[in-house]
């Protein structure tokens, strides 16, 4: 059985909780304060190979500069000879996108509260000269108090001195402002405002204002701002959205105008950053300037091969609250970017079932050390789709399977997961109805 204990300076590093094209995100605990954190791990060789040094350095610097209660906090940056570690706030409430999918759409009051927090955070970014450029519900997280947290500043821009317009076409097509698609230069602040308007529409409608299967038709509709608001939008909400989703960036409402709008101001409580907070970028410079940096100690203890071991209490820490029912009841566990289920089948049987199910769907399968990556092409053939499944041993005859999106559209992942679960139903453990948390724990820890 393989058991990994890892130390990264003052942090005890646990299991992987996220995975992307260039990085992994691991759960960790600060041994000095007891605080839970998320650690983004990037291989230096990958960064150099893809010539991403400046982009990663910019993302880290921006996250330190734009400290705000509604932005995921970056604590510090560490490095070893081979890797870079970005220590971030651990946000437990999941994606705002998950909430939209689960409920269909949000009430106007709830949508307004999230929109107010979003505008406050983006106004703070703009005051620092930072433009996000990839605002969408998947990049909006929720903390345990249901407050908004903006994440993923990988496409953010800091304009060069003396240059007012940006020229890079980036972002997610459905949320991108028309001027960004024109290749004639654009104002980053106005482009972010457009994306905020699309987000507000999605929160209240439950669907996108512009949605086409082929990109040329989608771009045509975006550039012409061909959309209509549903009948349940109040006149005030409709009026504000029409001012935001204006294809002309010159006449589009600005953040100051949004903050003065009567619909926006209802029950508005501004969220402000601490005025006296000093930002230090020394650790960022040290990571990128001194590649031989040795102030991080990494220790691993490995034994014979097998799934990683996770005790039941560690699993609960990483679950949403203390309610274990979502691990067992597929009706309660509405799909998230990261989802889990439990099995009493042997680990090898679980992996074989996963591989067979993926192959039956015509997807590519790569398995290594009880971790399977499933890959395919998105439904609109616009990009790559990938899901990672990892098996953990919780007790001698009990395993937890962690499922997480690695690439592609979140809505497509939701559809995939529901189909996939029907094909692996035989390995999913379903305990007796009404079994309490205490009984589940006793069963899991026997």
Q: How far is CA 401 from CA 104, 304, 393, in A?
A: 27, 20, 9
Q: What is the pLDDT of residue 50?
A: 67
Q: How far is CA 28 from CA 11, 41, 48, 50, 166, in A?
A: 6, 12, 26, 27, 37
pLDDT over 70 (residue 437): no
Q: What is the DSSP string of 14-25?
A: EEEEEE-SSEEE
- Partnered with residue 373 across adjacent β-strands are 366, 388
Pairing of strands 308-309, 384-395: parallel
Pick the residue with more confidence: 322 or 434?
434
Gap between the terminal Cα atoms of the chain: 17
Across residues 330-340, what is the average pLDDT?
52
Rounded to a whole number of angstroms, the CA Rg of the chain reads: 23
Highest mean pLDDT among 274-283, 369-378, 404-413: 369-378
Average pLDDT over residues 314-338: 47
Per-residue exposure over 283-313, b if at least 16 CB sit within 10 Å of its own CB, e if not: bbeebbeeeeeeebeeeeeeeeeebbebebe
Most confident range (mean pLDDT) of 65-74, 302-311, 378-387 is 65-74
pLDDT above 50 for 57: yes
Check: CB of residue 407 under 8 Å from CB of residue 392: no
Bigger pLDDT: 11 vs 173? 11
pLDDT score of 271 more than 80:
yes
Give the rounded percent of residues in the chain with a pLDDT score beyond 70: 74
Beta-strand ranges (E) seen in 216-273 are: none
Residue 201 has pLDDT above 90, yes or no: yes
The whole-number average pLDDT for the span 80-105 is 84
Which run of H or of E encompasses 29? strand 23-30
Among the residue ranges 277-286, 354-363, 436-445, the one predicted with the least confidence is: 436-445
pLDDT value at 297 more than 50: no
Residue range 123-165, pLDDT digits in tens: 988 888 888 777 888 788 888 888 999 887 654 444 443 334 4
Q: Which residues contact residue 257 at a Cβ distance below 8 angstroms, ignoring those fewer than 6 apart?
A: 243
Split at pLDDT 50, 70, 90, the class of 177 is confident
What residues are annotated to the active site?
134
Stretch 109-115: mean pLDDT, rounded?
95
pTM for the structure as a whole: 0.65
pLDDT band at 288; cut points 50, 70, 90? low
> 51: number of CA atoms within 13 Å, CB side?
0
- State yes or no: pLDDT of 411 exceeds 80: no
Structure confidence by residue, pLDDT tens digits, 62-86: 777 788 899 888 888 888 778 888 8
Quickly list DSSP for 319-356.
SSTT--GGGT-TTT----SEEEEEE-S-HHHHHHHHHH
pLDDT of 1 = 46
pLDDT band at 299 (very low <50, low <70, confident <90, very high): very low
* pLDDT, position 323: 44
The model's pLDDT over 179-200, given as tens digits with 9 standing for 90+, comes to 887 766 778 889 899 999 999 9
Predicted local distance difference test score (pLDDT) of residue 218? 81
Q: What is the pLDDT of residue 259?
A: 95
Residue 10 among known ligand-binding residues: no
In whole angstroms, give the CA distance from residue 410 to residue 430: 26
pLDDT at 333: 42
Question: Which DSSP helix (H) or strand (E) runs through 197?
Answer: helix 188-205
pLDDT band at 116 (very low <50, low <70, confident <90, very high): very high
Mean pLDDT calculated for residue range 354-371:
86
pLDDT at 111 over 90: yes
- Please name each of the domains of the chain with its CATH number: 6-90 (3.30.200.20), 96-265 (1.10.510.10), 308-445 (3.30.310.80)
Q: At 366, list the tokens.
A: 């790569």
Which tokens hold the place of 379?
A: 């439904």
**Paired tokens of 250:** 């010159």
pLDDT at position 421 is 84
Residue, of 50 and 247, whose pLDDT is higher:
247
Rounded-to-integer distance, Cα 99 and Cα 93, Å: 10
Tokens of 363: 């997807």
Q: Residues 83, 167: contact at Cβ < 8 Å? A: no
Residues 6+ apart with CB under 8 A from 13: 6, 7, 26, 27, 28, 39
Q: What is the mean pLDDT of the chain?
A: 77
- Residue found under tokens 């949403």: 320
CA–CA distance, 259 with 335 (Å, rounded to integer): 34
Confidence of residue 305 (pLDDT cuts 50, 70, 90): low
pLDDT at 311: 54
* pLDDT, tens digit (0-9, with 9 covering 90-100), for 216-234: 788 888 888 888 999 999 9
Q: Which of 99, 96, 97 is nearest to 149 (CA)?
A: 96
Note the Cα 78 to chain centre separation in Å. 22
């Amino acid at each position: 059985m393989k058991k990994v204990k890892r130390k990264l300076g003052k942090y005890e590093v646990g299991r992987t909780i996220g995975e992307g094209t260039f990085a992994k995100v691991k759960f960790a605990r600060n041994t000095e304060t007891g605080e839970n954190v998320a650690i983004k791990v990037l291989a230096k060789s990958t960064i150099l190979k893809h010539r991403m040094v400046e982009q990663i350095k910019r993302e880290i610097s921006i996250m330190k500069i734009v400290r705000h209660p509604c932005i995921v906090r970056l604590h510090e940056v560490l490095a070893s000879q081979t890797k870079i570690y970005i220590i971030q706030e651990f946000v437990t409430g999941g994606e705002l996108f998950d909430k939209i999918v689960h409920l269909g759409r949000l009430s106007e009051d709830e949508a307004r509260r999230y929109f107010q927090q979003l505008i406050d955070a983006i106004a703070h970014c703009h005051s620092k000269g930072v433009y996000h450029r990839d605002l969408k519900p998947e990049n909006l997280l929720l903390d345990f108090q249901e407050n908004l947290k903006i994440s993923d500043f990988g496409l953010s821009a800091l304009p060069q001195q003396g240059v007012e317009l940006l020229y890079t076409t980036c972002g997610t097509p459905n949320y991108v402002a028309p001027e960004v698609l024109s290749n004639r230069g654009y104002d980053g602040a106005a482009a972010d405002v457009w994306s905020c308007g699309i987000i507000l529409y999605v929160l209240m409608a439950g669907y996108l204002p512009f949605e086409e299967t082929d990109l040329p038709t989608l771009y045509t509709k975006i550039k012409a701002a061909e959309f209509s608001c549903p009948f349940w939008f109040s006149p005030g909400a409709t009026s504000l959205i029409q001012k935001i989703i204006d294809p002309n960036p010159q006449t589009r409402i600005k953040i100051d105008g949004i903050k003065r709008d009567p619909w926006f101001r209802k029950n508005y409580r501004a969220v402000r950053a601490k005025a006296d907070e000093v930002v230090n970028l020394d650790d960022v410079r040290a990571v990128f300037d001194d590649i031989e940096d040795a102030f991080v100690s990494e220790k691993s203890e490995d034994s014979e091969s097998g799934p990683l071991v996770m005790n039941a209490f560690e699993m609960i820490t990483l679950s949403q609250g203390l309610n274990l029912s979502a691990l067992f009841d597929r009706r309660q566990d509405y799909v998230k970017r990261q989802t889990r289920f439990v099995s009493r089948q042997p680990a090898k049987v679980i992996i074989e079932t996963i591989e067979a199910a993926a192959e039956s769907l015509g997807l590519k399968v790569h398995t290594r050390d009880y971790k399977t990556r499933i890959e395919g092409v998105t439904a609109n053939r616009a990009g790559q789709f990938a899901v990672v499944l990892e098996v953990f041993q919780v007790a001698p005859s009990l395993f937890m399977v962690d499922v997480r999106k690695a690439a592609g559209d979140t809505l497509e992942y939701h559809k995939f997961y529901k189909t996939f679960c029907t094909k692996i139903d035989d390995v999913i453990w379903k305990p007796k109805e009404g079994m309490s948390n205490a009984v589940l724990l006793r069963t899991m820890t026997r």
